[in-house]
Amino acid sequence: MKRVLICVIALSIFLITACSSNQHQSESGDRGEFKTEDMAGSSEEGKGNDSSESPSSNEAMDMPKLQTDRKVIFNANLSLTVEDLSKATDRIEQLLQSNGGYIVEANTFSEEDINHASITVRVPQNNFYPFLDEAETIGKGTPEKSISGSDVTEEFVDLEARLKAKEDVKSRLESFLEKAEKTEDLLAISNDLSRIQEEIEQLKGRMKYLNNQSDFSTVTISLEERKITVPSLGEGDDSTIAEAKQLFMKTANGILHFFSKTVVVLIGLSPVLVPLTLVAVVFLIRHRRKRRKE
């Protein structure tokens, strides 16, 4: 009886152990499947994310580079009052040499007791403001200054795009020209090529002009030198006598001019005045005779 009881207990322990092991294996299998599915899902999501991000990265690589440099054309007008005009112009030339600029046009003229000079210069854009600051020190008093700027970046970018399009058309026309066999086709393609080449040269010329105007700024400097003349002691009397002589000569010339004009008028009108004078004399004579008879 004891043996039977021991066998039953051992069998029950064996069954409980077997059931617990099977349950543990099933749970571990479920966990393994869950992890596998999760990994598969995450890998698919990763692929999806990579596929979604790859176009954006490709688009970023295909996007044109933004233009960071701005093309601005600067112009300035500077008016200075100086003590010595020649020294001021020499100083401006020295400033141009030190700043890498050059003179475009220079004019000098005098008006009464004032000497004037107008100088147009071109200065590299990087030295534009330093040159203006140094040029202001040449004059005395407060200088008159005006600065204006024109941004041509948009126009320049548009010209670049148009130039690239024209060059593409030119290359296609050249390839068509090589394949053309008929004379009519050759003439038509040649005319189109010459027209496209002319447009390309115009675009290049405009771009070159904008580059030059934006790389070098234009400054127009107006200089004014005032001279104050102080007469000496003996110069006052001489000037009075000279003025009196000048007034006398003007009066005499005025009288002579009046008489000369009168003579010219009389001679010019003589064909009319002589007959009228004769008629008037005859009329007076007859009138006097009538009065005497009465």
The reply to whether 114 and 16 lie within a common domain is no
The reply to whether 100 and 224 lie within a common domain is yes
Tell me which of 20-29, 137-146, 164-173 is least confident.
20-29
| pLDDT of res. 259 | 80
Chain-centre distance of CA 132, in angstroms?
18
Show the DSSP H helices in 63-101 as ranges: 85-99
Highest mean pLDDT among 190-199, 224-233, 238-247, 270-279: 190-199
User: Which SS3 state, helix, strand or coil, does residue 59 take?
Assistant: helix
User: 192: closest CA among 210, 175, 217, 215?
Assistant: 175
* pLDDT exceeds 80 at position 8: no
- Supply the DSSP string of 196-232, one letter for each residue: HHHHHHHHHHHHHHHHHHHHEEEEEEEEEEE------
Burial class (CB in 10 A: 0-12, 13-18, 19+), 222: middle
* pLDDT exceeds 70 at position 20: no
Give 223-233 pLDDT, tens digit per residue.
988 765 555 54
Give 73-127 pLDDT, tens digit per residue.
999 999 998 888 889 999 999 999 999 999 999 898 887 778 889 999 999 989 9
The reply to whether 88 and 208 lie within a common domain is yes
Last residue of some domain: 10, 34, 63?
Answer: 63
Read off the pLDDT band of 147 (50, 70, 90): very high
The reply to whether 47 and 139 lie within a common domain is no
Residue 147 lies in a domain: yes
Residue 190 lies in a domain: yes
The reply to whether 59 and 86 lie within a common domain is no
| pLDDT of res. 168 | 92
Residue 104 lies in a domain: yes
| pLDDT of res. 15 | 47
What's the structural domain count of the chain?
2
Highest mean pLDDT among 28-37, 85-94, 245-254, 279-288: 85-94
Average pLDDT of every residue of the chain: 75
- The average pLDDT across 164-184 equals 88
| pLDDT of res. 218 | 93
Read off the pLDDT band of 257 (50, 70, 90): confident
Return the higher-pLDDT residue of 239 and 158.
Answer: 158
| pLDDT of res. 40 | 37
Last residue of some domain: 197, 230, 263?
Answer: 230
Tell me which of 65-74, 97-106, 152-161, 178-187 is least confident.
65-74
The reply to whether 123 and 216 lie within a common domain is yes
CA distances, 64 to each of 133, 159, 162, 281 (Å): 39, 16, 15, 106
| pLDDT of res. 238 | 60
| pLDDT of res. 229 | 53
- The average pLDDT across 146-170 equals 91
The reply to whether 133 and 215 lie within a common domain is yes
User: 149: closest CA among 95, 105, 213?
Assistant: 213
| pLDDT of res. 73 | 92
Q: For residue 201, give its domain range.
A: 71-230
Q: Whole-model pTM?
A: 0.48
User: 87: closest CA among 25, 162, 34, 138?
Assistant: 138
The reply to whether 81 and 21 lie within a common domain is no
Return the higher-pLDDT residue of 11 and 91.
Answer: 91
The reply to whether 23 and 160 lie within a common domain is no
The β-bridge partners of 224 are 81, 116
With contact defined as beta carbons under 8 Å apart, do 123 and 147 qualify? no
Which residue type occupies 54?
S
